[in-house]
Amino acid sequence: MKKKTSPGLKIICLNRKASFNYFFEDLIEAGIVLKGSEIKSVREGKVNIAESYAVEKNGEIVLINSHIAQYKQASMTNHNPMDERKLLLNKREINKLIGKMQRDGFTIVPTKMYFKKGKAKIEIAVAKGKKQYDKRAAKKNRDWNRDKARYIRKSS
């Protein structure tokens, strides 16, 4: 899904499932370390971050379970599609995220991946999981808003 919003910002991939499964507390923009064949595949839009999450490893934040398809033209030097990818954050931001994950039971979920001034960026959210009844309420509210819009359109 390629969508342009503003000059210099080109959205590559969205994680719509995340907003349904989690309550977001904080959104942070982070850079992402990619290999040559990975960035070419990202430019083609062959990315999936729906089931991915981030954890702390050796004092760094690492994105796990994100899928970047292999680049067809890179023969021998191709990458592993399910590799762990390091996120580029300040030390202060890393410490803040690690503290929230350990103390408060939050998780780090990517919400979207995009290009900003030619650099691949990923927006991560500090999130807390929703319970089943919260998901049902959100679905009920969404359905009601859709029906309400239909009624308004038909009446006018």
Per the structure, how many domains does the chain have? 1
For residue 51, being part of any structural domain is answered with yes
Give the Cα-Cα-Cα angle 106, 108, 78 (nearest 5 degrees): 155
Predicted confidence (pLDDT) per residue in 46-100, tens digit: 999 999 999 999 989 999 999 988 888 887 788 888 889 999 999 999 999 999 8
- Asked whether residue 136 is domain-assigned, the answer is no
Instruction: State the burial class of residue 30 (Cβ atoms within 10 Å of its Cβ: 0-12, 13-18, 19+).
Output: buried
For 113-133, write each residue's pLDDT tens digit. Answer: 999 998 999 999 999 988 888
Let me know if residue 96 belongs to a domain.
Answer: yes
Q: Is the pTM of this model over 0.85?
A: no
Q: Please, what is the end-to-end C-alpha distance for the chain in angstroms? A: 33
Flag whether 26 is in a domain: yes
Q: At 112, which helix (H) or strand (E)? A: strand 107-116
Q: Which residue, chain included where needed, has tokens 């103390």?
A: 103
Residue 117 in any domain: the answer is yes
Q: Report the CATH number that the domain containing residue 8 is assigned in CATH.
A: 2.40.280.10
Domain around 59: 3-130
